[in-house]
Amino acid sequence: MTEFTGFHIQAGPLSELDRARVELAEEIRAMICEVISTEATIDEVKRVRDQVRASVEALVASAHGTAQGTTNRVGEAALADRGRNFLARSPILGSMNPIAVPLAIQVLQEGAQATVEGRITFTAPYEGAPGCVHGGFIASAFDEVLGVAQSASGQPGMTANLTVDYRSPTPLLHELVFRGWCEKVEGRKIFTRGTLHSGDTLCAESSGLFISMRPELFARLLALRDDQS
């Protein structure tokens, strides 16, 4: 399953349906920001709630593209194609995932010395201490940044250990820069490090250990995902 080695790269353009999902996700992100800050009246909030509920019911009524009573089984080729769509679905950097900010990552170098850079601006829904990004979201972003770095090494795997040291409060509504790189590869073990800056200020540092995943395990995980849905 050679497609697995490049799953950190978005393969090919998004479909028309995927582009519509991206646009819908953008609207939902805007709604999330409004939900926690709106000064609308209770009647206005309830009216919008009912509209959202009706929209969700309309999507559910589509039965997710399968006829009722049928099993959503797909072949290996389809599973591989869904694997390529990983980045767009990601809860951290997925353009079609409304809970993502999203984080934009660029792979600067591939191979054993793989390096990546990510840029992100956290908004009010991600607040921890007043005016600051919640530390849990910073850790999640590091997991994704270092995950893309280890994937770009050519031996993509899963997180075995992730450590974050917080050096300075991380501000909301400012562009932040994550940098991640592979330090070394020992067999199936991939050692990574990363930093987070706001301007010239070091906000956090991270180290991560990843264990490269055999292609057959990746295929099983994709199949499990389809069974769950």
Task: Give the start-to-end residue ranges of the domains of the chain.
Answer: 2-228
The per-residue pLDDT for 76 is 38
Positions of the chain with pLDDT under 50: 1-3, 67-83
The per-residue pLDDT for 225 is 64
The per-residue pLDDT for 164 is 98
The CATH homologous superfamily to which domain 2-228 belongs is Hotdog Thioesterase (3.10.129.10)
Question: Which helix (H) or strand (E) segment is 160 a member of?
Answer: strand 157-166
Radius of gyration of the chain from Cα atoms?
19
- Beta-strand ranges (E) seen in 79-173 are 104-109, 115-120, 157-166
Structure tokens at 222: 């994709």
Q: What count of other Cβ atoms lies within 10 Å of the Cβ of residue 64?
A: 8
Query: What does pTM read for this prediction?
Result: 0.83
